[in-house]
Amino acid sequence: MSVGVLALQGSFHEHLAALGKLGVKGVLVKKPEQLEGLVGLIIPGGESTTMARLAEYHNLIQALQNFYKKGKPIWGTCAGLIFLANKAIGQKSGGQELIGGLDCTVHRNFFGCQLNSFETELPIPKIAAEEGGPETFRAVFIRAPAILEAGPSVEVLAEYTLLSNESTKFCSTIENTENEGQCQTGQKVIVAVKQGNLLATAFHPELTSDTRWHSYFLKMLGENGHQSLVPVKVKQDPENSLSSSQIRDLPIFQQTEVLSFEL
């Protein structure tokens, strides 16, 4: 039983490394037939339009939709979140295919352009309660999306509170859309959700040394009866969580020997 990582484009190696840290071998997925036998799938961050075009080229859109409809867990990070949403705004002209399933409206570049990328200590009450460790998570937002609307079956796992300078900066990204006016100082923006077998984060947990989101996802696979994939416990150290050395340190490739690259 293996966990797949969609490997068309983006930060798939980093996800494999994070899984490896938890003692789980990930399998790279580039073709529909490689989804067979997988118990779950991670869709990495990257660039969602490119990813969607490559998925179309490799006949993966329907295969991914079927994978989700079978009830198999999928976790989308950043571009992966956009790809899973039922509706995305701020798309490039011509639009892009979405896998859909996640009852959300996502703004593709809510937090602005590449230069507006940032890191923050994000409160993650539910994950901290289930996985232990600090109450916040070092969240890396890279030209990140945000969820503007979520349906009733969507559980919000993390929200980002807009600072005063940010409300003006990010507001411009949703001008001239039906969601205009949704962006004010102090407003909370949804950046992580769970809906049934779907998990989605607007940020990149695979770019940090904190494995709690990966561990949480692996437990979702466990809920589907795959107890063998319940991750090994990685000790979280609340004392060191905010140290500047750890914030800058991204030791994602520490355990490369446990990785598998089945191409």
Active site positions, annotated: 78, 204, 206
Distance between CA atoms of residues 26 and 2, nearest Å:
6
The residue among 47 and 135 lying less far from ligand GLN, judged by its C-beta, is 47
Is 135 a known ligand-binding residue? no
Among 46, 76, 101, 133, binds ligand GLN (CB under 6 A): 46
Radius of gyration of the chain (CA): 17
Q: Whose Cβ is closer to ligand GLN: residue 12's or residue 216's?
A: 12
Stretch that binds ligand GLN, among 140-148, 169-177, 184-192, 205-213 (CB under 6 A): 140-148
Q: Does 108 bind ligand GLN (CB under 6 A)?
A: yes
Question: Does 79 sit near ligand GLN (CB under 6 A)?
Answer: yes
Q: Are strands 188-195 and 136-141 parallel, antiparallel or unpaired?
A: unpaired
For position 21 contacting ligand GLN by CB under 6 A, the verdict is no
d(CA 222, CA 246): 30
143 binds ligand GLN (CB under 6 A): yes
Please, are residues 156 and 192 in contact by the beta-carbon 8 Å criterion?
A: yes
The binder of ligand GLN chosen from 29, 41, 122, 142 (CB under 6 A) = 142
From candidates 17, 28, 82, 146, binder to ligand GLN by CB under 6 A: 82
Q: Is 240 exposed, middle or buried (0-12, 13-18, 19+ CB in 10 A)?
A: exposed
Quote the CA–CA distance of 13 and 195 in Å, as a whole number.
26
Is residue 47 annotated as involved in ligand binding?
A: yes
Least gap, CB of 91 to ligand GLN (angstroms): 8
Task: Read off the tokens for 201.
Answer: 């984060």
Looking at the Cβ atoms of 11 and 34, the one nearer to ligand GLN is: 11
48 in a labelled binding site: yes
Least distance to ligand GLN, CB of residue 138, Å = 16
- Does 34 bind ligand GLN (CB under 6 A)? Our answer is no
42 is in an annotated binding site: no
User: d(Cα 210, Cα 144) in Å, to the nearest integer?
Assistant: 19
Considering CB under 6 A, how many residues would be counted as binding ligand GLN? 12
- Residue closer to ligand GLN (CB basis): 44 or 73: 44
Helix count (H) and strand count (E) of the chain?
8, 12
Q: Letter for the amino acid at 160?
A: Y
- Give residue 43's region: left, alpha or beta (phi > 0; psi -120 to 50): beta
Q: Does 76 bind ligand GLN (CB under 6 A)?
A: no
Strand bridging mode 85-89 / 198-201: unpaired
Judged on CB neighbours under 10 Å (0-12, 13-18, 19+), 149 is middle
- As annotated, the binding site for L-glutamine includes 46-48, 108, 142-143
Binding annotation = 46-48, 108, 142-143
Q: Which residues contact ligand GLN by CB under 6 A?
A: 45-48, 78-79, 82, 108-109, 142-143, 145
